[in-house]
């Protein structure tokens, strides 16, 4: 994330005289809107936030495109935002890294991808590709999918079956018909027998919060050929719309229940490059002892064994898969703090917990020495417009407690509401979510200013408030229709505390 200044260098020595603690609050999906008619944040009654804007120094940061290591026109997202915030500098993201490999030809030499294709290059061989499809670009990209199909052609794979996951969150809610038809055309151009074998909304196979009943429905369609039936991908989407389902919530649908299911020994490439929503389905494919998940089909057929699974990027350290693009080392602020002996506290609710831990720490799973973590469980609701407060009060409670404890040098917290409720596209619910966030900010500011309040010579605590990307700032399009995707808008950066006054 950049504002035109010099990027932070985590390798520089940390100051010895400083505020304590330094608190970073990330308001997920809280951008600076351009059109008041589309901007829920501008419309929300947020007296605390308005007062902070009046009283404390603030600036605007770019949180998309090249400022966070993404291609031109690509909106930021939570993974990218937290990785950049945690690094203190722009980090080249997986999307442009994979794009560059396709452009220079090295994509076709990646050992994991070549191995998957060679395993399928037998007379009855079949390569399976699981991927989110469409132009969203946040979790996957159709260029990568088509490049994989092209590699299958080059290596003599006789058939390719695509298990398509529809977006509807980072794309308009009902936009799949056009790009599914276009994808089918591109698959036919790239391979003589490449087809979409199953299709369904990301709500199911891309869950990230342990809702295994959702994942199981996506898994059953992909692996066992169990689900709704359709004669083709376009017909499946049309049937979903007739049932009142948007792209994100499309019931998993089977198109090819004979040649499209995953058999024992088949190679499978999960082409999503973003890890958080690809992890659970991958566990279901490779983990025979997955607790709380039935890998057998609903009628009792066993799950296929000896699968050769390749993931586009590393979804989780230790998963028994091959990784096409392993992580590149990204030194983080959390690492620098740990090396300096600082004590840290990272807190978020389930929806964004990985972001303030794994992603903020540069892709490191384990806590650093001196790093405490607190997971606040997210509510079990189908969509967050039904519970716009989410678990923000629990996050605020933990954060205020940590500030007042005097135990920590650095604290980072994420409030998921503007993003997760904003993704529903429901204006009133997003407004209600922002009111809750405003109340939480009031408590956090009070706790910050209370640190060393009786000691005029102390520097006290300092609070930085920012966001990882926009969302709630652009909830309607020019025609007044709901927008569920992130925005390209900048995000705020504000400092609160005695040290912020100079």
Domain residues of the chain, as ranges?
Answer: 23-91+330-501, 95-325
Q: Residue 289: its pLDDT value, please?
A: 87
pLDDT digits (tens, 9 = 90+) for 97-130: 999 999 999 999 999 999 999 999 999 999 999 9
What is the DSSP secondary structure assignment for residue 470, as one 8-state letter? B
Distance CA 105, CA 110 (A): 10
Host H or E run for residue 200: strand 194-201
Q: Are strands 228-229 and 253-254 parallel, antiparallel or unpaired?
A: parallel
Both structure tokens of 438: 């405003």
Which pLDDT value is given to residue 6?
Answer: 41
pLDDT top residue among 455 and 395: 395
Q: Across residues 25-53, what is the average pLDDT?
A: 98
Share of the chain above pLDDT 90, in %: 90
Q: Among 57-71, 74-88, 317-331, whose mean pLDDT is lowest?
A: 317-331
Average pLDDT on 12-26 reads: 80
The mean pLDDT value for 264-277 works out to 96
Closest CA relative to residue 315, chosen from 281, 289, 360, 356: 281
CB 413 within 8 Å of CB 347: yes
pLDDT-derived band of residue 5, with 50, 70 and 90 as boundaries? very low
pTM: 0.75
Top CATH class, 95-325: alpha beta
Whats the size of the chain, residue-wise?
502
The reported pLDDT for the residue numbered 12 is 55
242's tokens: 């007739």
User: What number is the average pLDDT over the span 312-335?
Assistant: 93
Catalytic residue annotation: 78
Strands (E), 2-159: 22-27, 58-61, 127-132
Nearest to 485 by CA among 422, 435, 412, 394: 422
C-alpha distance from residue 15 to each of 334, 336, 361, 484, 494 (Å): 15, 12, 20, 42, 21
Question: 460: cis peptide before it, omega within 30°?
Answer: no
Q: Which of 218, 224, 220 is nearest to 260 (CA)?
A: 224
Range 424-429 average pLDDT: 98
Q: If you average pLDDT over residues 129-142, what whole number do you get? A: 96
- pLDDT value of position 370: 98
Mean pLDDT, rounded, for 210-225: 97
Query: Mean pLDDT score of the chain, rounded to an integer?
Result: 95
Per the CATH hierarchy, to which homologous superfamily does domain 23-91+330-501 belong?
Alkaline Phosphatase, subunit A (3.40.720.10)
What pLDDT, on the 0 to 100 scale, is given for residue 275? 93
pLDDT digits (tens, 9 = 90+) for 153-186: 999 999 999 999 999 999 999 999 999 999 999 9
Give the pLDDT confidence score for residue 3 in this predicted structure: 57
CB atoms under 10 Å from CB of 263, counted, come to 14
Residue 317, phi then psi, degrees to nearest 5: -60, 135
pLDDT at 11 over 90: no
The 10s digit of each residue's pLDDT in 435-472 is: 999 999 999 999 999 999 998 888 899 999 999 999 99
Provide the pLDDT confidence category of residue 39 given band limits of 50, 70 and 90.
very high
226 CB burial (10 A radius; 0-12, 13-18, 19+): buried
Q: Residue 372's pLDDT is what? A: 99
Cα atoms in the 13 Å half-sphere on the side-chain side of 68: 29
pLDDT digits (tens, 9 = 90+) for 340-358: 999 999 999 999 999 999 9
pLDDT at 376 over 90: yes
């Amino acid at each position: 994330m950049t504002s035109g200044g010099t990027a932070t260098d985590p390798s520089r020595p940390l100051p010895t005289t400083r505020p304590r603690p330094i608190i970073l609050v990330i308001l997920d999906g809280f951008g600076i809107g351009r059109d008041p008619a589309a901007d829920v944040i501008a419309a929300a009654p947020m007296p605390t936030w308005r007062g902070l804007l009046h009283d404390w120094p603030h600036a605007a940061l770019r949180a998309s495109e090249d400022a966070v290591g993404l291609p031109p026109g690509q909106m930021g997202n939570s993974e990218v935002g937290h990785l950049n915030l945690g690094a203190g500098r722009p980090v080249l993201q997986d999307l442009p890294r994979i794009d560059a490999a396709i452009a220079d030809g090295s994509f076709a030499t990646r050992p994991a991808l070549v191995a998957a294709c060679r395993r399928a290059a037998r007379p009855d061989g079949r390569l399976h590709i699981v991927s989110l499809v469409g132009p969203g670009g946040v979790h996957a990209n159709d260029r990568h999918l088509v490049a994989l199909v092209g590699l299958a052609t080059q290596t003599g794979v006789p058939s390719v079956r695509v298990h398509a996951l529809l977006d509807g969150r980072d794309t308009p809610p009902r936009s799949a018909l056009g790009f599914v038809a276009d994808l089918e055309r591109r698959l036919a151009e790239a391979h003589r027998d490449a087809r979409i074998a199953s299709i369904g909304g990301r709500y199911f196979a891309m869950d990230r919060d342990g809702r295994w009943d959702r994942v199981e429905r996506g898994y059953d369609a992909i692996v066992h050929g169990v689900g709704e039936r359709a004669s083709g991908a376009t017909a499946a989407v049309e049937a979903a719309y007739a049932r009142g389902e948007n792209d994100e919530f499309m019931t998993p649908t089977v198109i090819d229940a004979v040649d499209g299911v995953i058999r024992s020994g088949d190679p499978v490439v999960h082409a999503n490059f973003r890890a958080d929503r690809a992890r659970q389905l991958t566990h279901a494919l490779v983990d025979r002892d997955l607790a709380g998940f039935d890998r057998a089909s609903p009628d009792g057929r066993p799950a296929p064994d000896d699968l050769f699974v390749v993931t586009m990027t590393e979804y989780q350290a230790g998963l028994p898969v091959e990784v096409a693009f392993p992580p590149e080392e990204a030194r983080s602020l959390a690492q620098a703090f740990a090396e300096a002996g600082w004590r840290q506290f990272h807190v978020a609710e389930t929806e964004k917990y990985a972001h303030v831990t794994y992603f903020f720490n540069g892709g490191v799973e384990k806590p650093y020495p001196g790093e405490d973590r607190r997971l606040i469980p997210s509510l079990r609701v189908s969509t967050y417009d039904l519970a716009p407060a989410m678990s923000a009060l629990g996050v605020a409670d933990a954060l205020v407690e940590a500030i007042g404890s005097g135990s920590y040098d650095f604290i980072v917290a994420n409030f998921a509401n503007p993003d997760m409720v904003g993704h529903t596209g429901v204006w009133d619910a997003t407004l209600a979510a922002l009111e809750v966030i405003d109340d939480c900010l009031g408590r956090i500011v009070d706790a910050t200013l209370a640190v060393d309040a009786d000691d005029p010579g102390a520097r006290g605590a300092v609070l930085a408030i920012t966001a990882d990307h926009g969302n709630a700032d652009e909830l309607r399009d020019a025609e007044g229709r709901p927008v569920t995707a992130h925005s390209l808008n900048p995000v705020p950066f504000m400092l609160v505390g005695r040290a912020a006054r100079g």
